[in-house]
């Protein structure tokens, strides 16, 4: 059974801090890795995806991938109260997408 | 663009009834995905299509579930007969490339 694991949280950080969200996956054959944000009662929105080991930056967000450790993370810099949401990690192998259950982030003003 | 359109937005039905959920993808998108989200199991991919052809339906929970995509602008997810454990939010998503999925607003299904 392929799995994607996330700490459910909540992860609470003060406004302006860096929030670090983590995800591990079980299938070494996984090829693509995604981070989605989901506000309460809303649908998921893609933040970014990453294929290669290392860091990928997009605005205040940085995705980090370490395939050897089967670990992907998302850093949210200068966190804002509007970043408070559930963050879903997803992993794709050849055809299949598997989502984690999400980490709830709370940014305290 | 209007985005992915799903109907109905809310559905309440009784156990044993047939439920049909509908999705209109974003025009020009070749991929269409159906997901189910519950508190216990999170977001699960049920099935996805590419150019109207089912690519992976291994997430469809059992024979009570079926999905069709008769043309590029319409898809249905049917549950027959419905059971209380089917209560969830069902999302449809579409994309040009599979990496960049756009989700619809979802259908909240409650089976009594």
Q: What is the mean pLDDT of residues B64-90?
A: 97
Burial class for A48, CB neighbours closer than 10 Å (0-12, 13-18, 19+): middle
Residue-averaged pLDDT of chain B? 94
The three-point CA angle B47-B51-B57 to 5° equals 15
pLDDT beyond 70 at A6: yes
Alpha carbons B86 and B89: distance in angstroms, whole number? 9
Alpha carbons A55 and B65: distance in angstroms, whole number? 40
With H, G, I as helix, E, B as strand and everything else as coil, classify residue A99.
strand
A16-27 per-residue burial string, b: 16 or more CB within 10 A, e: under 16: eeebebbbbbeb
Which region among A90-104, B21-35, B55-69 has the lowest average model confidence (pLDDT)? A90-104
For chain B, percent of residues with pLDDT exceeding 90: 84
User: Residue B56: which of A90, A95, A100 has the nearest Cβ?
Assistant: A95
Judge whether B89 and B106 are in contact, CB under 8 Å: yes
Q: How many Å lie between the alpha carbon of A17 and the closest alpha carbon of chain B?
A: 28
Residue A2, pLDDT score: 73
**pLDDT for A61-106, tens place per residue?**
999 999 999 999 999 999 999 999 999 999 987 767 889 999 999 9
With H, G, I as helix, E, B as strand and everything else as coil, classify residue A81.
helix
Q: Which tokens hold the place of A28? A: 């070494």
In which band, very low, low, confident or very high, does the pLDDT at A107 lie, cut at 50, 70 and 90? very high
Judge whether A106 and A81 are in contact, CB under 8 Å: no
CB contact under 8 A, A96 and B100: no
CB contact under 8 A, B43 and A95: no
Q: What is the mean pLDDT of residues B56-61?
A: 90
Residue B41, pLDDT score: 87
Burial class for B13, CB neighbours closer than 10 Å (0-12, 13-18, 19+): middle
Residue B1, pLDDT score: 62
pLDDT beyond 80 at A60: yes
């Amino acid at each position: 059974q392929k799995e994607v694991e996330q700490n459910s949280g909540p992860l609470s950080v003060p406004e302006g801090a860096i929030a670090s969200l983590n995800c591990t996956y079980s299938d070494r054959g996984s090829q693509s890795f995604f981070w989605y944000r989901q506000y309460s009662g809303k649908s998921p929105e893609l933040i970014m995806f990453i294929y290669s080991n290392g860091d990928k930056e997009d605005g205040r967000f940085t995705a980090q991938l370490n395939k050897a450790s089967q670990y992907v993370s998302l850093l949210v810099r200068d966190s804002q109260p509007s970043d408070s949401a559930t963050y879903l990690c997803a992993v794709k192998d050849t055809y299949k997408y598997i989502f984690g259950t999400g980490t709830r982030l709370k940014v305290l003003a | 663009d209007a985005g992915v359109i799903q109907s109905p937005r809310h559905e309440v039905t009784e156990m044993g009834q047939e439920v049909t959920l509908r999705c209109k993808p974003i025009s020009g998108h070749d991929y269409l995905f159906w997901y189910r989200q519950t508190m216990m199991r999170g977001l699960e991919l049920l099935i996805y299509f590419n150019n109207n052809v089912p690519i992976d339906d291994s997430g469809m929970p059992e024979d009570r579930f079926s999905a069709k995509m008769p043309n590029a602008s319409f898809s249905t997810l049917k549950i027959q007969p419905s059971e209380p454990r089917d209560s969830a939010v069902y999302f449809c998503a579409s994309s040009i490339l599979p990496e960049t999925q756009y989700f619809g607003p979802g259908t909240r299904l409650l089976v009594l």
